[in-house]
Structure 1
């Protein structure tokens, strides 16, 4: 087995909290529309809009806000008041300004890995927002490279691990999303380490891989060190 030289790391809900703010905002959104539809219908329509709009708006807060506005128009029959639209915009702005809270063991783990491996932050979402969160997190100096991508596919990992390392066969991707961080990295030939987070966006759900020798799962980020000791 070739020596591991490069480690890719996800950001949202791997290094810092993210999904909790989306869920809190969605709860506010349901309250805004309580006079027009029940909470379950609002959430269902919002998820449909998000899925429909991913190809247009991509991932992140701005696309989420646009999907909320579209959903508000949908469930009110195009009669959503300007006040509701204003509340949605205000909620999105609050999300974009929310302080960054690092997850337990994030800094310690990156400090342990830095120097021994090439560390690459690989995250998807809005460019400005991801850059803001990285700067506010205080974790940016641990990384040799930062890549903010529109989506994460096997081709993405093949390209990035060739650009910043010695190819996918000598790389590992660590993240909380099976769908985005683990499965495409495995398909590219890398190790994929799943670090589950208590909150996962519905569109990021995926089944655990079957026969995948390079798949690993840990309970918390700090346990990545044991994976490294195992594989050498």
Structure 2
């Protein structure tokens, strides 16, 4: 972009799950299957609360992703059945997790066109959290890998994480924008690290990713969809 406004934006970083491709909806479908398998032992709402509590406990052990989710489902099944869960149910939960790990990638509307449009003007970076093998698989299957100059798969996203990534890649935070669907992981921490944060809601948000938007922060923007991003970058550039 033109440098007449001062400092030029150089790096545009993207979250992956539910920003570039669908993810949370598959977790919800699997959770529905989980509720059906255990309907004789617990009401769906109670089961959802127990599963969420298990996921919260287990993040420190398993991290984010399908594998931790599957283990949390198994743990919850054992708890709510008082260790009487049938082996058949355990097998089906394992198979559900395997199905999620093998699920084809569905890009969100406009993603490929937007990346193609902005790639000539910026360094593009992927910053995503989750299981290393699964995230590498999804990136490879997405067909988007060639757009990115760098990819970072991390165990968690916080201010220190972003600061370390920016430093490692020689990114000036003031010249960097992070885009994602999670206010908690993709917006607040990069803003705290000195970058811009753009929130593009997906519509379905995991409870552990919910947070209040920093609506009054000068480095925050909210978009309705990915196709609005090129204009948003021009808006940010005008403020530099």
Q: TM-score by structure 2 length?
A: 0.95
Deviation at 1:210, TM superposition (A): 4.4
Question: Which residue number in structure 1 is paired with residue 3 of structure 2?
Answer: none
Q: 2:32 aligns with which of 27, 32, 57?
A: 27
Query: Does residue 1:208 correspond to 2:231, yes or no?
Result: no
Question: Which residue number in structure 2 is paired with residue 12 of structure 1?
Answer: 17
Q: 2:164 aligns with which of 156, 159, 168?
A: 159
Once the two structures are overlaid, the 10-residue window that deviates more, 108-117 or 119-128, is 108-117
1:165-206 deviations in Å (ceiling 9; x for gaps): 432121000000000000001100100000010111110000
Distance 2:142 2:30 in 1: 21
The 5 Å alignment of 1:1-232 reads 2-232=7-237
Distance 1:2 1:211 in 2: 22
Q: Which runs of 5+ in 1 are unaligned?
A: none
Q: Is the 8 A contact 1:6 1:161 kept in 2?
A: no
1:14-44 deviations in Å (ceiling 9; x for gaps): 0000000000000000000011111111111
Deviation at 1:162, TM superposition (A): 2.2
Distance 1:80 1:166 in 2: 51
Once the two structures are overlaid, the 10-residue window that deviates more, 23-32 or 166-175, is 166-175
Partner of 2:109, secondary structure, is coil
1:95-137 deviations in Å (ceiling 9; x for gaps): 0000100000110111111121111100000001001111111
Deviation at 1:211, TM superposition (A): 2.9
Partner of 2:152, secondary structure, is strand
Partner of 1:116, secondary structure, is coil
Q: Which runs of 5+ in 2 are unaligned?
A: 1-5
Shift in CA distance, 112/183, structure 1 to aligned 2, threshold 3 Å: same
Aligned length: 232
Distance 1:50 1:153 in 2: 19
Shift in CA distance, 17/84, structure 1 to aligned 2, threshold 3 Å: same
Q: Which runs of 4+ in 1 moved over 3 A?
A: none
1:65-123 deviations in Å (ceiling 9; x for gaps): 00000000010001111111100000000000001000001101111111211111000
Q: TM-score by structure 1 length?
A: 0.98
